[in-house]
Amino acid sequence: MAPAATAIADRALIVPNRPRSVIPGFGLTLGYTMLYLSLIVLIPLSATFVRSMGLGYRHFFDVVSSPRVLSALRLSFGAAFVAAAINAVFGLLVAWVLARYVFPFKRFVDALVDLPFALPTAVAGIALTALYAPNGWLGSWLTPLGIQVAFTPLGVVVALTFIGLPFVVRTVQPVLEDLDREVEQAAATLGASPRQTFVRVIMPALWPSLLTGFALAFARAVGEYGSVIFIAGNMPMKSEIAPLLIVTKLEQYDYAGATAIAVVMLLLSFSLMLAINGLQGWALTRHVGR
Amino acid sequence: MDGHVSAECSVPVPRPLRRRWPGGPPRVARLALIGIALAFLGAFVALPLLVVFSQALAKGLIVYFAAVSDPAARAAIGLTLLTAAIAVPLNVVFGVAAAWAIAKFRFRGKSTLITLIDLPFAVSPVIAGLVYILVFGAHGWFGPFLQAHDLHVVFAVPGIVLATVFVTFPFVARELIPVMQAQGKDDEETALSLGATGWQTFWHVTLPNVRWGLFYGVLLCNARAMGEFGAVSVVSGHIRGLTNTMPLHVEILYNEYNYTAAFAVASLLALLALLTLAGKSYLEWRQPELRHAAHQARDRLRRVRS
């Protein structure tokens, strides 16, 4: 330890203007990080905002408040919200089962949860459509019951549920695994019913991570495109999502319209991201606070 | 402790039930919970995967191989491999640089930088494509310049690569940052004090220490790079045999009602997804802390700040 310390001290003496750390490459790596981040992400993204300012307030507002755009935004955010809520319930259940119970092929099931991350969205889209179409494996069971999934807004919810599932499971699962079982055992020996233990002991510790998972699934689902367009049917005013409307406007060379919708979506997504960051901070203070 | 509990309870309860989780749901409820969870995963995850392979092979192996080896399909496979071969190394270099700066040094604005690196995850893939059209398209910032010099970015391969780089931008960095932070900088300081140069320290000390985290990031980055659809679809122009990646080729075949061929090409992508999951499981088994690495990054950062 002592020779190392002297070496460090010597260096510091020789080069007084050096940053405090002896490790080299700070300027190079941070400089490259900033340059690459600016070139790939920040400057191109700012183009959207600069372009939309060129539109003029009037035109921007006209585009964004047109019934077709409003309906697409409502569907994108509404279906994403419903899908995230479904995932919050079933994702919690899946995380619970994976964290608490032993059953055959558990490792395989655990790995399968990540499939929506790994499967290209276009593949997910055509697979879900084939599955839920009126003549598909599941669709042929649901159609006689009067439930039409493919080519309706319900199909959008199904696709977004698929996309969002891993976010909830993978956020809740580690917290469940870390949860101190002795607290539950204490509650049980003190006479709490299973339901009381769950509501009063487990859920309070779980809320922050569940909410974070919900928000992550929601954020991902809002912008999702590939898995939705196949199953949605894409009828304007009915089952047309906002990202698809951007593509449609681009194909009609309506760059102004596409940019205006993009700016609204970006602003909403960024606020969501800030909220998620805040949530994770809250989750951590709670976690450490315990 | 457990034995103690059951000894004190006078109610005769079967042992296995009491032993695992006192106060927990009885056996029937537990089986029901497992059943519901598996049914949900089956309907939403396992069946879509099965349907891909079943549809791809519906008309037999000959049709399957014909669809996969069709010239347009082969061109799409080639372009997908080329795109990943450019995008992944670019993001690996960036990820290593960013992780080095963030994990080894203290500086102002670190948390803002980490948030900005995650930014592409908050952007819809379609918008990721749109921004490059606004910059490089015919009516974009550099459009006139590019046209004057007969350079093609949008509706050509460079645009596809750029859009892919954008959507896969955070993957390597966000896996590598927490791993490098966990490693600390003692090893590097020792190597440097023993006379190693900066590069030697990086190649022989840092890189071996973080290699599993790096593989993990590359694996996830590659899966997304090969499978990206929305962003690439916007900038591609869909020229068959030229600017069609595998996911775009799947869409074209599907829209032509050529379902068997569409699912045949899709099955290759599904195989890639399965390989990715297998690799991911293997790496998590080798290095269990990788599993939740992304979450730990933020946590550790907050702890440093507070």
pLDDT in tens, A211-266: 989 999 999 999 999 999 999 988 888 899 999 999 999 988 888 899 999 999 99
Q: Is the pLDDT of residue A163 over 60?
A: yes
* Residue, of B260 and A197, whose pLDDT is higher: B260
pLDDT mean over A37-63 = 89
pLDDT digits (tens, 9 = 90+) for A168-183: 999 999 989 888 888 8
pLDDT mean over A145-151 = 89
Distances A121 to A139, A192, B12, B247 between C-alpha atoms, Å:
20, 45, 53, 8
- pLDDT at site B141: 85
Mutant choice from A23, A138, A169, A263 vs B, greatest count of B C-beta within 10 A: A23
Distance between start and end Cα atoms, chain A: 37
Confidence category of residue A199, pLDDT binned at 50, 70, 90 = confident
Buried b (16+ CB within 10 A) or exposed e, A137-164: bbbeebbeeeebbbbbbbbbbbbbbbbb
Residues within 8 A of B (CB atoms), A 50-79 only: 51
Q: Which residues of B touch A147 (CB under 8 A)?
A: none
- Interchain pair A273, B118: CB under 8 A: yes
Q: How far is CA A233 from the centre of its chain?
A: 24
Q: Per-residue pLDDT for chain B (306 aa), expressed as one digit of tens each?
A: 444 444 444 555 554 444 445 445 578 888 999 999 999 999 999 999 999 999 999 999 999 999 999 999 999 999 999 999 999 999 999 999 999 999 999 999 998 999 899 999 889 999 999 999 999 988 888 888 888 888 888 889 999 999 999 999 999 999 999 999 988 889 999 999 998 998 999 999 999 999 999 999 999 999 999 999 999 999 987 777 778 999 999 999 999 999 999 999 999 999 999 999 999 999 998 888 777 654 444 444 444 443
| Residue B232 CB-density burial (10 A; 0-12 exposed, 13-18 middle, 19+ buried) | buried
Minimal Cβ distance to B51: which of A94, A122, A137 = A137
- pLDDT at site B269: 97
- Interchain pair B132, A117: CB under 8 A: no
Contact B172, B213 (CB under 8 A): no
- pLDDT at site A286: 64
- pLDDT at site A9: 47
- pTM beyond 0.90: the answer is no
- pLDDT at site A184: 84
C-alpha dihedral over B274, B279, B284, B287, to 10 degrees?
180
Query: How many C-alpha atoms does B108 have within 13 Å on its Cβ side?
Result: 0
* Residue, of B299 and A112, whose pLDDT is higher: A112
The residue type of B239 is I
Which chain A residue is nearest to residue B194, measuring alpha carbons? A4
